[in-house]
Structure 1
Amino acid sequence: MSMTDKQALIDDLFALGIEPTGTLLVHSSMKAIGDVEGRADTVLDALSDVMQDGLLLLPTHSWADDNLTSGVFDPDKEPSCVGVLTNLFRQRTGVVRSLHPTHSVAALGRNAAEFIEGEETCTTPCPRDGVWGRLYDVDAQILLLGCDLTSNTFIHGVEEWHPVKNRIARKSQVIRIKKGHQIIESELHRHQSPNRSIHKNYDKLEQPFLKTGVGHWGMVAQAPSFIASAKGMADLTESFLKRNPDIFLDRTPIPSQWYEKRI
């Protein structure tokens, strides 16, 4: 099997329906993409070229057990726990990283610094007035590049905004954040859920999103990839949470009558 080159990646991304002047957030699996000439850097080059007139975002989360071992979030040094592409991207020239201590994003392009500002004041992982809420405001596209919907952090945000009980810890954690030459303190209430892995049930949204046209699947190199409207995902998911706030606590499918009438 021949290796994928940069132009082939660009062609696949455009064929998927990316809006090059919009806002795109990418969750990614380099392994799923397969063999690429130039490897991960070429994938980032392709994404950056496609979005050169828009805004490109990658999550650079640091919520894992081996993150924040010093108790300080330093955006220049703290590794991302969500993949090789995110770690390379955050270190690229021109890329800026938000100051959220556990759910930061790295941004490149139009109004990047403005889009991510103020995250050091967040008291929860994905507040409505933070970066994840701004994705809704601009109706960003969210691309799951070689990932399924269990990787969709945005849905955590929708559960926060609804709000669903028992998704945010009552007890806060003090995390220090390096902001320029200053060290500031943040009191953060982390995610929690009764089953500790609620995101594993977010793939229940696949059929509703497909049936209502909120998102669709395509291929980028060897990676099955899902792309969807942030606003469409949030609005439909919120309609489900109004019917059953605990819809994601088990594997029971979302009743088709809850969304088929929307088609």
Structure 2
Amino acid sequence: MAEEHRSAESITKETLLQDLKRLAIDRAGTLLVHSSMKSIGPACGGPDAVLDALADYMRDGLLVLPTHTWAYVNKDGAEFRVADSLTCVGLLTERFRKRPGVFRSWHPTHSVAALGRDAESFVAGDERFPTPCARGSAWGRLLDRQATILLIGVDLTRNTFIHGIEEWADIPNRLADEPKQLYTIAPDGARIAAPVRGHTTPVWEHYGKVDELLQRKSVMRLGRFGHAETRVCDAAQMTTLLSAMLRVEPDLFLDDTPIDPGRYGGLV
């Protein structure tokens, strides 16, 4: 039976493990997952079966999911409660953050949750950074660890890591000039001031303009996980290519204008 025609009964933890193997994900590496549970299909065991497959596959590495709260922790005085604040980026992320052994970072708007090797140290200290994806935060540590980014049933518009690439390149007019005074409420109840200069320009709507290019340059490849189309991205290669393009054209993602190869001197 073709993968895209699997019945509900045939999507199981075991078949999802096989999918991850076919995607050639490094079991001992670092894997960031953005996901749409609906696109995966009705797996036997539901969301927990999906998370079980991801966790088991990555048991010798580090599994990371976003647990963002920017959709509602976004006004002066707003509080992010590490233990209780719901994620705004999907069902799997909310289930994942509550699992035994998972550590959540303390950034008030762009937290992540991690399970596995070095998970606690990976998420530590993010509340100290006044921007969403600082180079010293978990988002930058993904680059340090040469992570793989797996987009399950979602496209590049959901790839928060590209925000990091733009931030590290110091692209103008992407972040607010002045921070909002937010607060992180630690698991022990401590209230920590955590000001954040949030995103101001919806450039993520245009991240898809490099989809074909990333595939052609072997920075990203397509596959399947359950019923979902997936994109498997190399974080380090993506950073190298997009950083070079942003040096030529800082407003690369400001609109959907097609990429002009001649502008980049053979880079693309």
Query: Is structure 2 residue 242 aligned with structure 1 residue 237?
Result: yes
Q: Take 2:215 and 2:181, find their aligned partners in 1: how far apart are those partners?
A: 40
Report how many aligned residue pairs link the two structures: 260
Q: 1:68 to 1:13 in 2, by over 3 A?
A: farther
Is 2:200 aligned against 1:192? yes
Corresponding residue SS for 2:214: helix
Quote the offset at 1:243 in angstroms. 0.8
After superposition, the Cα gap between the structure-2 partners of 1:248 and 1:210, relative to the gap in structure 1 and judged at 3 Å, is same
Residue 3 of structure 2 corresponds to none
Show structure 1 runs of 4+ deviating over 3 A.
65-70, 256-263
- Given candidates 230, 247, 251, the residue that maps to 1:225 is 230
Change (3 A) 1:258 1:50: farther
Distance 1:259 1:23, change over 3 A: farther
C-alpha distance in structure 2 between counterparts of 1:141 and 1:65, whole Å: 28
Preserved CA contact (<8 Å) 2:77 2:183: no
**After superposition, where does 1:84-103 map in structure 2 within 5 Å?**
84-103=91-110
Letter in 1 for 2:176: A
Cα distance change of structure 1 residues 258 and 221 upon mapping to structure 2, 3 Å threshold = farther
Q: Would the aligned equivalents of 1:212 and 1:260 in 2 still touch at CA under 8 Å?
A: no
Separation (CA, whole Å) in 1 of partners of 2:81 and 2:142: 24
Structure 1: distance between partners of 2:96 and 2:49: 11
Q: Report the Cα distance in structure 2 between the residues aligned to 1:217 and 1:109, rounded to whole angstroms.
A: 26
Structure 1 residue 68: deviation in Å? 7.8
C-alpha separation in 2, matches of 1:134 and 1:229: 14
Provide the C-alpha distance between the structure 2 equivalents of 1:108 and 1:257, rounded to a whole number of angstroms. Answer: 44
Aligned to 1:177: 184
> Cα distance 1:18–1:257, how it changes in 2: closer, same or farther (>3 A)?
farther
Distance change in 2, residues 1:240/1:110 (3 Å): same
2:74/2:180 contact within 8 Å kept: no
Amino acid aligned to 1:200: E
Q: Aligned partners of 1:199 and 1:30: how far apart in 2?
A: 21
| 1:160-218 deviation per Cα after TM superposition (whole angstroms, max 9, x unaligned) | 1101000010121111112234211111111112xxx2101001121121111111000
| Residues 73 and 108, structure 2, Cα contact 8 Å, conserved in 1 | no
C-alpha deviation, 1:65, in angstroms: 3.2
Matched, 1:37 2:44: yes
> Does residue 152 of structure 1 match 2:159?
yes
Question: Compared with structure 1, are the counterparts of its residues 107 and 260 closer, same or farther at alpha carbon in structure 2 (3 Å cutoff)?
Answer: farther
Asked if the contact 1:212/1:259 (under 8 Å) is kept, the reply is no
Residue 40 and residue 253 in structure 1: after superposition, are their counterparts in 2 closer, same or farther (change >3 A)? same
Report sequence identity in percent.
Answer: 45
* TM-score (structure 2 length as normaliser): 0.93
> Residue 216 of structure 1 aligns to which amino acid in structure 2?
R
Asked if 2 retains the 8 angstrom alpha-carbon contact of 1:60 and 1:106, the reply is yes
**Partners of 1:212 and 1:262 within 8 A in 2:** no
In the alignment, which of 80, 88, 92 is matched to residue 73 of structure 1?
A: 80
Q: What is aligned with 1:127? A: 134
Which residue in 2 is equivalent to 1:207? 212
Q: 1:135-172 CA distances to partner (integer Å, 9 max, x unpaired)?
A: 11111000001111110000001111101000010121
